[in-house]
Chains A and B, each alone.
Chain A
């Protein structure tokens, strides 16, 4: 009312009903409107038309270059090449068999990874583009002292019917991811079911979709697209084992195709769309944790990323702790021993030193565990540190820490002989050269030795 009275004060004329006003569509004329806009009005000297200098240079004809499609460059950069036909085939090396890596006598020897295992590992994304697989004819691995130890623990877990929970740590380029790869190939050769999360960062850096689980407090989230991809990878890598393992429970609520006689492979294949991925994955995990199923190896690379507060936000815009993501929680529960693996098996997490952040409570927990294993005094938490996270401590407290550092000189020699036999090392291989590269590689850090002898101008 006040606005009307105000308006009437400002505009004394009476408002006219809009209906009565004539609606002008167009003036009646047969000539079209002048299409050219009127020249801008000249107000001062600047508006006068400028004289442009005429150039007699020939215009360079720019050839249009076909640019690669989006994502193609990155795919090229990240591609994984596992063979080099120029490299010489190395004769006289055995292929890995089911129990090879667990035997103490195979310590300090090179073994070829069998072709079918290579395909499975590729499906699991166990190979990384930063590793130097592309220089050699076929993937070979060096069985180190630590490898034998780890595989022995995996073997023992079958006897005890209890999960072996382990965190691999160690300095940069010391072979933690490769140890994961060896554990995976051991598991694949022994017909375990292998689930591998290739990069912990992918789960928490907010680059994959997430959706809340209703009626959870605090709110939990699933990552449907990632879970679907993971399911497909699990199926591709473990197809033979999954196809001969029948289901123990009735999962017909997930998919109509799941009859009582179906196998785990049918379950894994039943998720065709991402919204059913998480229920299917959790069903698969429930099945695998039933007694009488094949043993499971669950691995993850880049531990620090799943122990932090993730980049995701809940509906109230509070940051979400990574352990509230259900896939991460599944892994963490298995690592902490909350989920039992009644058929034996292992949960192995590897820290990464290239792509990581300093995580005080993880560092503390790992150092405490390590000191406890060695029988040394256990380090105390820093009283001035505020960022300790109890959930991380709870997740890690039941695991074994295995530290990887450099290889011994004998192992370095075996490795370098393999490089030489592949034709990648042209210099004479004597103990002096081995000792030199061993020392240049930070006392046998394998990645640094590769840098010093393979990725160098001096060969």
Chain B
């Protein structure tokens, strides 16, 4: 118990700001198709956002359980202001936040699973795949609307330029491209990244078959039982929603164990020939890569339980289930990295670093 308190206490002055997602210049999925989304189900529900209240909901972060990043920065700012005010009354600023509050900040102030009955909306899923966090539905809709508007304006421009540039026999295809238009962007972006990570000996099609087997294993396995000890990504849908959406299942597992930062060792900057340990925030793809590498490390050490060519895929799927259920040793690795990052937090704005740069 004591160690846990120390960790939270140590986190207090750590200003962790995962890189905010850049919507306009996103490279994750170049265009969001206006016709259909990954998560669209057979009903083909319209995903057009409510237009009016996006700005209103954006201005009141306290009224809703918020995006982890936004809340973190917001509350840290509040914390700083409170510290300046109450410094005279000898209360340390970090004490203004108790452990429960900190846990709320770091886990986005939401319970492990969302309270809503249903799963995620399409906009929320899209945001998860793009940014690695699950925003509340209104905010996700707003973001989606903005990006759609941007895409539409781009497409209008492109059509106009098309008209000017005569000479194409059949004309250029219109943006946004339909689903499956680009042969190299045929698969879901998260799966694409993971598949290439689990590829062995450059055999991509084997890796893709393994990935398909993993997804079928997840679809046939019973719904996971969430562990309260290892909270998943804030806003995770109820467990019964995961098996039939294996992409979401995998993404939730990987984004939940993904580390927020890594510790860079800057040679010689620590003084006395020591390396300076500098915590660096990671982007979404980097975080996912690290998490999946950890999972792969565990898998490679596990013996397989059966025989045949599906064993590798089965081990991956079992490990993904273990991560979601909190049984995996990958959680320990994440904890370790975060602990190290917390310990080295003082080095973030270090003078030694500047001196090193000057040289």
Chain B's closest residue to A455 (CB) is B212
Q: Is the CB of A424 within 8 A of B219?
A: yes
Q: Is the CB of A429 within 8 A of B211?
A: no
Q: Is the CB of A420 within 8 A of B42?
A: yes
Known: A77-B308, A86-B221, A426-B41. A456 touches B244 (CB 8 A): no
Binary flags per residue of B13-56, CB closer than 8 Å to A gives 1, else 0: 00000000000000000000000100111101000000000000
**Residues of chain B in range 44-70 having any CB-CB distance to chain A below 8 Å:** 44
Chain A residues closer than 8 Å to B180, beta-carbon distance: 458
Once bound together, how far apart are the Cα atoms of A135 and B308, in whole Å? 19
Identify which of B195, B307, B310 contacts A457 (C-beta below 8 A).
B195
Once bound together, how far apart are the Cα atoms of A87 and B213, in whole Å? 16
Please give the distance in Å from A246's CB to the nearest CB on chain B.
Answer: 46
Please give the distance in Å from B329's CB to the nearest CB on chain A.
Answer: 14
Please give the distance in Å from A65's CB to the nearest CB on chain B.
Answer: 5
Interface centre among A84, A87, A88, A454 (most CB of B within 10 A): A84
A side interface size, CB within 8 A: 28
Which of A68-76, A97-105, A200-208, A394-402 lies at the interface? A68-76
Identify which of A87, A428, A459 contacts B215 (C-beta below 8 A).
A459
B side interface size, CB within 8 A: 34
**Residues of chain A in range 386-429 having any CB-CB distance to chain B below 8 Å:** 420, 423-429
Chain B residues closer than 8 Å to A429, beta-carbon distance: 42
| A190 adjacent to chain B (CB < 8 Å) | no
Once bound together, how far apart are the Cα atoms of A134 and B211, in whole Å? 17
Chain B's closest residue to A454 (CB) is B216
Q: Is the CB of A135 within 8 A of B215?
A: no
Identify which of B186, B244, B245, B306 contacts A458 (C-beta below 8 A).
B186
Identify which of B208, B213, B219 contacts A84 (C-beta below 8 A).
B219
| A286 adjacent to chain B (CB < 8 Å) | no
Q: Is the CB of B219 within 8 A of A455?
A: no
Once bound together, how far apart are the Cα atoms of A84 and B217, in whole Å? 10
Once bound together, how far apart are the Cα atoms of A456 and B188, in whole Å? 12
Q: Is the CB of B40 within 8 A of A65?
A: no
| B303 adjacent to chain A (CB < 8 Å) | yes
> A residues bordering B, Cβ < 8 Å?
65, 68, 73-74, 76-77, 81, 84-88, 134-135, 420, 423-429, 454-459
> B residues bordering A, Cβ < 8 Å?
36, 39-42, 44, 180, 186-188, 191, 195, 208, 211-213, 215-216, 219-223, 243-247, 303, 305-308, 310
Instruction: Report 29 cross-chain contacts, Cβ distance below 8 Å, ordered by A residue.
Output: A68-B305, A73-B305, A73-B307, A76-B305, A76-B306, A76-B307, A77-B310, A81-B220, A84-B219, A84-B220, A85-B222, A86-B220, A86-B221, A86-B222, A87-B219, A87-B220, A88-B244, A134-B220, A423-B244, A426-B42, A426-B245, A427-B36, A428-B40, A454-B216, A455-B212, A457-B212, A458-B180, A458-B188, A459-B247
